[in-house]
Amino acid sequence: MEYFAYVVAFFIVVGLLMVGFGYYEAHESKGESASAKLQRIREQRGSLAPQGMDGYDVEARELAKKFAREEEARLGRDRSSMTGLDEIIKALRVTARLEGELRQINSFWHAGELLVATLMLALVVLLATTLMGWGWFGLIPALACIRLPWVYVRSLRARYYRRFDEQLADTLMLMSNSLRAGFSFLQALEMVAREAPFPIANEFSMVTQEISLGVSITQALENLGARIKSSDLDLVVTAVIIQRETGGGLAEILDTIAGVIHERMRIKGEIRTLTAQGRLTGAVLGFLPVFLGLGLHLVSRISAPHDPSFMTPLLNEGVGRIMIAVALVLQLMGFAWIMKIVTIRV
């Protein structure tokens, strides 16, 4: 068992050295400064401006495509210093999707860096449980750490989508007022990309960039709906596409959809308020046994340091560790069940 702990410690040291070396290399290779990049974008902004509703001249399209290729090349040079690891990870379907989700939510992590950090955390947990005498039972929390990247990305993505939904109604009102003021639909999209807050400005900016590169408005809106998993946005995209095919007052349509979204947001707020007690109950019932066990262990150690603790049989005996593992599994199942009950979709 001591030999196993030494092997784990060796891999942890090697991994930390690799992470430190990658961090050093990333900061040594300076990329283009933010001010220089903004200046370069301003200089070429006039070339990328749309020339009309139906198409663009050939020269502007060629400049836009050239600019897009240059940006992609710069991003490729400025990405993670662990290039080889990133290439291996991108070849895997699951981790490639993880990389795409991290890029969408503008996370400073890359898939390779996040997975390496998770592996280091799993090894640290495995070493700690091994030194505590857990033996092979230490693999359970170590393997649980491997799930952390997807939990992290899922939480950030859910917050990203939630902020997008909260800003969508006001964005539709902004577009509706722009259309009434005489703006075209493309100009309304560009105004949202300039004036709206993050993240909706970022997504609409991608729509305008796709249109400037020759993608049709319908396809650009469908791409937006594919990136953002939102029923409200699907309603907006469908309504705009139908209006462009059949005609009608787009400003009135956007006003109606904005009112529907405002009402849904109000109902969601009421449901969240009414289910707050249930969510709090689930959290308390989920963490109470853990804190209670740690409290009993610490109190017994402080009050009688030379006497065995109440938790000693559970930590040192094989049957006790099995009981702890079963209890953790049941606690997680109960917590998930309660969260499913109090989660109401509108």
- Distance, in Å, from the CA atom of 328 to the CA atom of 325, rounded to the nearest integer, reads 5
Which uninterrupted H or E stretch holds 62? helix 58-78
Distance in angstroms between the alpha carbons of the first and the last residue of the chain? 53
Of the pLDDT bands very low, low, confident and very high (cuts 50, 70, 90), residue 253 is very high
Nearby residues of 297 by Cβ (< 8 Å), 6 or more positions away: 309, 310, 311
Helix axes 34-48, 58-78, angle to 10 degrees: 160
CA 186 vs. chain centroid, Å, equals 29
3-class secondary-structure state, position 234:
helix
R_g of the chain, CA atoms, integer Å: 27
In the prediction, which pLDDT does 315 show?
74
Residue 129 has pLDDT above 80, yes or no: no
What value does the mean pLDDT of the chain take? 75
Of the pLDDT bands very low, low, confident and very high (cuts 50, 70, 90), residue 173 is very high
Given a contact cutoff of 8 angstroms between Cβ atoms, the answer to whether 274 and 280 are in contact is no
Taking the model in full, what pTM does it have? 0.62
Give DSSP secondary structure letters for 196-207. SPTTHHHHHHHH
Residue 172 has pLDDT above 90, yes or no: yes
In the prediction, which pLDDT does 171 show?
92
List the single range of 8-22, 36-50, 147-161, 243-257 with lowest mean pLDDT. 36-50
Domains along the chain with CATH numbers:
2-152 (no CATH), 157-266 (1.20.81), 275-342 (no CATH)
Q: What is the mean pLDDT of residues 139-155?
A: 80
Q: How many helices (H) and strands (E) does the chain have?
A: 16, 0
Given a contact cutoff of 8 angstroms between Cβ atoms, the answer to whether 121 and 90 are in contact is no
- Distance, in Å, from the CA atom of 316 to the CA atom of 318, rounded to the nearest integer, reads 7
CA 335 vs. chain centroid, Å, equals 23
List the single range of 2-16, 149-163, 164-178 with lowest mean pLDDT. 2-16
- Distance, in Å, from the CA atom of 76 to the CA atom of 106, rounded to the nearest integer, reads 16
Give DSSP secondary structure letters for 163-205. HHHHHHHHHHHHHHHHHHTT--HHHHHHHHHHHSPTTHHHHHH
Of the pLDDT bands very low, low, confident and very high (cuts 50, 70, 90), residue 254 is very high
